[in-house]
Structures are given as C-alpha cells and as structure tokens.
Amino acid sequence: MATKKSPEKSNVSKDELLSYYREMLLIRRFEEKAGQLYGMGLIGGFCHLYIGQEAVVVGLEAATKEGDKRITSYRDHGHMLACGMDPKGVMAELTGRIGGYSKGKGGSMHMFSREKHFYGGHGIVGAQVPLGAGLSFADKYLGNDNVTFTYFGDGAANQGQVYETYNMAELWGLPVIFVIENNQYAMGTSVKRSTKSTTLFGRGLAYGIPGEQVDGMDVLAVKAAGEKAVAHCRAGNGPYILEMMTYRYRGHSMSDPAKYRTREEVEKMRSEKDAIEHVRDLLVNAGLATDDDLKAIDKDIKAIVNDAAEFSKESPEPPVEELWTDIYA
C-alpha cells in the first residue's frame, strides 16, 4: 500500500493495532452506509460525513479514561462511534426514528449520550467550545480529575467565542483539551483563504495555552499526542491545544459538490495518507495479521453496520406524543 509510515515508530501491541483498525473501519463503513441511506431519502436534512478523519477520534479515545467527556460539532458520527455509542442508536437517529439516541428529535447534528459522556453534536459553529470548557469547569469545581475533549474544526477556529473561551480556560486552569480538527476546508473555504495564521494551535500561545500540530492521519501519533495533553490537564496545568492535520474525503455535507478542490487532491490524500490503510500496513508488514484476519474484521464490521441500517429502517418514527415531550426537564 502507498502509505509511507514506518511501522517501527511505535512498539504498539498487535491487539491495540487491531482495535484501531476495527474502530476506524467501523466509522468509515458506517459513514458510507449513512451516505447511501441519505441517497435513498431515509436520512434527511444535513448529513456531514467523517470519512477520512477517523484516526483523530480513535487515537484520542485511546488516551481517555472513564469519566472523561467529549463534545463536538455537527460532524459527529465518528465521535459517537469512537466513544462506544451503539451504531444502531446513532443510525436510527439519522433516520429520525424512536430508536435513535434523541428519539428522533435531534438528528445527525444533535445527538447525546450521558452514559458515554458524549455531550453533542452541536449545530452552531464554535458553540461547543465554551460548552466544553463549561463541562471541564464543572469537573474542576467538583474536584475530580476528568478531562473534556472539545473538538472543533478549522472553520470554527475563527469564531470569537473560541478565544473568549481560551482566555477563561487558561485563566481558571480548566482541564480541557481543545482539539482542532483541521481538515483544511471550512465548508468550501480553505484555511489559506480564511486566515494568514500558519498554524491554528499557535493562537492559543497568546493566551498562555500550550499546543502542537499533530499528523491527524496517523492514529499512533494522535494517541501519543492525546496522552501528552491528558497528562498536562490531569496534572492541573490547565488547557492544551491539539491541532490535528486531517482531511475529509467527502463534501462538507451530502449536498456539497466540493468544487473548491481538485479530484486529484482528494485522490492523493486517499492513496498516500489514508489512516486505515496505514494501520493495515503496520499489521500486515509486521506479520501481526494476515489478509484473511483483516477480511474477517471487515466482515464483522459490515454485519454491524448492516444491522444498524436495518434497525434504523425498522425502528418506528417517534409517536406523535413525542412532539410535546422533553421540552422541559
């Protein structure tokens, strides 16, 4: 395969690599299926696929412990699957059915799981940044050592509230990791067309927040950076910024023709930097797994995704009474 990563850069175990492979593949197949269901009219409205960015959430989840929280934008399916939410419940929310995580009332962009400490799924660009800092404010107030992963994109990185939040997060020493998923396009506007800054994490330095840029297509590099950031936060040193250099293969949403970049650019990323192929190479080249082993995983994943799709079609629409429930707690 075409990735140029060296397998010896980390002495990670076979089981670990296999689990990354499996989790990233689940996200990719799930998203492909979601795209298909969208095309069939079973998923409505906006649907933002995570294909290409899988290594970011899978690598960072590997650095978490129970109690840690996560919050993100509307490109959220990958985060939910990576933190262990049930693919059936996620897919059924996409189809707007009662079996979805929000009983069909939130949709693709607005899903939550208290049980898995996943706090959304937010449709307003940048809004999740202070919200995530607020979750970490609560943890600090309550005196536990939980950390909140607050994900946002390169587009949100230009929102004013991000910097209001940086200022307070550092001022108050909040245990929050700001994860900038820099997929290089804010809808159709490339980073170069939206800022003169050469890095996005570097803006945190003005507020005293350390950070770094990470190869977000390399799950091992992501995990290593995540562990460093988590250690910083848990030790009570305040926030940390991780700028994940990543790439989405699909359009911004299902209705984006993606004319702002060339097909060659996308193809190049897919063939040279693909996160899943990278791990596959590590496994195969080191003799840790055979093609047959990986095929068996592919088959498992396909079955999980098909079950989720089946569930999302069979689960009924919410009963009409649901129109009037959950307005107030």
Partner 1 sequence: MAIQVLMPALSPTMEEGTLAKWLVKEGDTIKSGQIIAEIETDKATMEFEAVDEGIVGKLLVPEGSAGVKVNTPIAVLVEEGESADASPATAAPAPSAAPAAAAAPAPNYPAISAPVETKADTTPDWPAGTAMKTMTVREALREAMAEEMRANDRVFLMGEEVGEYQGAYKISQGLLDEFGAKRVVDTPITEHGFAGIAVGSAWGGLRPIVEFMTFNFAMQAIDHLINSAAKTNYMSGGQLGCPIVFRGPNGAAARVAAQHSQDYAAWYSAIPGLKVVMPYSASDAKGLLKSAIRDPNPVIFLENEILYGRSFEVPVLDDFTIPFGKARVWREGSDVTIVSFGIGMTFALDAADQLAKEGISAEVIDLRTLRPIDYETVIASVRKTNRCVTVEEGFPVGSIGNHLAAVIMQRAFDYLDAPVVNCTGKDVPMPYAANLEKLALITTAEVIEAVKSVCYR
Binding positions for partner 1, 18-77, rule CB under 8 A? 32-33, 35-36, 38-42, 44-46, 69, 71
| DSSP 8-state assignment for residue 113 | B
Residue from the set 1, 13, 67, 141 that interacts with partner 1 by CB under 8 A: 141
Q: Which two tokens stand for residue 274?
A: 């693909």
Is 281 within 8 Å of 88 (Cβ atoms)?
Answer: no
Work out which of 102, 183, 213, 246 binds partner 1, going by CB under 8 A: 102
- Using CB under 8 A as the binding rule, whether residue 134 contacts partner 1 is answered as yes
The site for partner 1, by CB under 8 A, has a size of: 72
Nearer to partner 1, 223 or 273 (CB): 273
Which one among 190, 237, 290, 325 touches partner 1, defined by CB under 8 A? Answer: 325
Strand-pairing partners, residue 182, are 245
Of 1-9, 112-120, 220-228, 288-296: span binding partner 1 (CB under 8 A): 112-120
**Which of 14, 16, 18, 103 is close enough to bind partner 1 by CB under 8 A?**
103
d(CA 167, CA 169): 6
Stretch in the footprint of partner 1 (CB under 8 A) among 11-19, 57-65, 129-137, 214-222: 129-137
CB of 12 or CB of 21, closer to partner 1: 21
CB of 57 to partner 1, least distance (A): 20
Adjacent-strand bridge partners of 185: 190
Q: Give yes or no for residue 151 binding partner 1 (CB under 8 A).
A: no
Residue 218, C-beta contacts closer than 8 angstroms, at least 6 positions apart: 5, 55, 59, 275, 278
The least CB distance from residue 44 to partner 1, in Å, is 6
236 part of the interface to partner 1, by CB under 8 A: no
Beta bridge partner(s), residue 306: none
Instruction: Give DSSP secondary structure letters for 259-322.
Output: TTS-HHHHHHHHHHH-HHHHHHHHHHHTTS--HHHHHHHHHHHHHHHHHHHHHHHHSPPPPGGG
C-alpha distance across the termini of the chain, in Å? 52
Q: Which is nearer to partner 1, 140 or 278 (CB)?
A: 140
Q: Which of residues 212-231 bind partner 1 (CB under 8 A)?
A: none
